Amino acid sequence: MRILFLGDIVGRTGRDAVFRHLPTLRDRYAPAFVIANAENAAGGYGVTEKIAAELLAAGIDCLTLGNHVWDQRDMIAAIDRLSYVLRPLNLPEGTPGRGAALFGAAGGGRVLVINVLARLFMDPGDDPFAAVDRVLRQHPIGTGVAAAIIDFHGEATSEKMAMGHFVDGRASLVVGTHSHVPTADHQVLARGTGYLSDAGMCGDYDSVIGMKKELSVARFVRRMPTERMTPAEGEATVCGLLLDTDPDTGLARRVAPMRIGGRLDPALP
């Protein structure tokens, strides 16, 4: 099975780049399933029901979120009815929405997607390792689940790497989101799980992690509050990865970085 994963979509510029490039990527690579992290899609802060619907209509099958999950308050009421939107799995019991779900893929087969929040340098949630372990035990790959994808949303590469090794052989892919910087450590781990520390963002890289650079620089230099951060508005780079899995085991055969448009050097699988 072939799966396309897109990193954090940042603001209108990021959304427009996804709308522009995703049809080409779908035609060229024919993924059976497309996932994107949308936690910065609405002006850099969360996602709205309207924007989520637009991304679904553009050809994304599942949207994952992160620490900005509730920044757009309409999602508190909407998320239970949006079956294609996942919030972090390891939020307290009783939180609206779901952190893991099974989806049908094009051509048949089911894809398990897990969205989980890291703890280092983040607002702490429940134990992400225990939460992921419970879901993988309930839905093992190769027995009715063709692929299992984990979006691990966090700051520390060490925590992301630890998650990769923790689930190695039990998941198809662990991919990091949140830092907005694409890493070069794409690989297949020893027992067959694909791994990438961060997929990067779909946003303008003439920025500070997607936000207007002048405000960010001023905050660091002056150590004083500024106006609210807003997304940079130049041409965006669409960043992500392409995963190919073994049809029998659900484990990774290949993880390839993908970058198109904007300022970063292109990388096409």
> What is the chain's percent helix, strand, coil content, to nearest 5?
25, 30, 50
User: How far lies 251's CA from each of 2, 65, 97, 183, 226, in Å?
Assistant: 11, 24, 28, 21, 47
Residue 143 CA to residue 70 CA, distance in Å, equals 34
Query: Is 186 an annotated catalytic residue?
Result: no
Catalytic residue among 68, 178, 180, 186: 68
Whose tokens are 């340098």? That residue is 121
Check: CB of residue 84 under 8 Å from CB of residue 96.
no
Element (H, E) at 117: strand 110-117
Whose tokens are 């002056």? That residue is 222
Residue 257 CA to residue 268 CA, distance in Å, equals 7
Q: Which residues are marked as active site?
A: 68
